[in-house]
Amino acid sequence: MPHDRAAAWALLAEFTPSQPLRRHALSVEATMRELARSRGLSDPAEIETWGVVGLLHDFDYERFPTEADHVWRGMEILRERGWPEVVIRGVGAHAFYTGIERVTLMEKAILAADELSGFVSACALVRPSKKIADVPVESVLKRMKEKAFARSVDRSYIVRGAEEWGTPLPELVGLVLRAQVAIAARLGLEGAPAAELPDEPVPPVGQPVGQPPLSETLVLGRGYT
Ligand SMILES: [Fe+2]
Ligand SMILES: [Fe+2]
């Protein structure tokens, strides 16, 4: 079995029955792909790898939620199952406590993507419309200063993520918002609750808003419709 997006979804589904965590994986994947494009990456295989790291970064979390296990067990399992080192390192780089240095652009991207993707979703869900498309960048920045709002999201990850990625925070927030809009319905961020994300079929990737890259659809569309 190739170590591609479909395999990543299958592994996620195997370890993660929880729907919110599956949605989080898709959300971080969408951000990773957008981050890749924002730095001029155009090779579909490379963009897919960035997305796969987003999909898999928390795949072990539901089963192994403690800092002693989460990430470590995931990396172990990925290694046992023959995933490429670039994916394993990418997954390992998403939490400070692993001490794994973020060297490559993709490793910096996962830190920039992870907490902020969750945070903008929380910002959408408190709006009357419950639509991510209605969330302005400024309101995300304002919410970040409210300690009581989305308490579980560690702001220091978001700030450091933007710093390491090298993009001013408002710009990064704008990019993350755009990435979520492309798959808003699947994330429950289009004004209605999300439909169940089953093990199969593999959910399709979101297309960049306003510019559907046809060739990429053809390449990445393999294995699912
Ligand atoms: Fe995590
Ligand atoms: Fe995460």
Q: Which ligand is nearest to the CA of 94?
A: 1
Confirm whether pTM is higher than 0.95. Answer: no
pLDDT attached to residue 209: 57
What pLDDT sits at residue 208? 65
- Give the three-class secondary structure for 216: helix
> Residue type at 47?
I
CA of 61, nearest ligand number: 1
Residue 73 has what pLDDT?
98
Over residues 160-177, the mean pLDDT reads 98
| Peptide bond preceding 203 in cis form (omega within 30 of 0) | no
> How far is the centre of ligand 1, averaged over its atoms, from the C-alpha of 65 (Å)?
8
Mean pLDDT (whole number) for 107-131? 97
Angstrom distance (rounded) from CA 85 to CA 78:
9
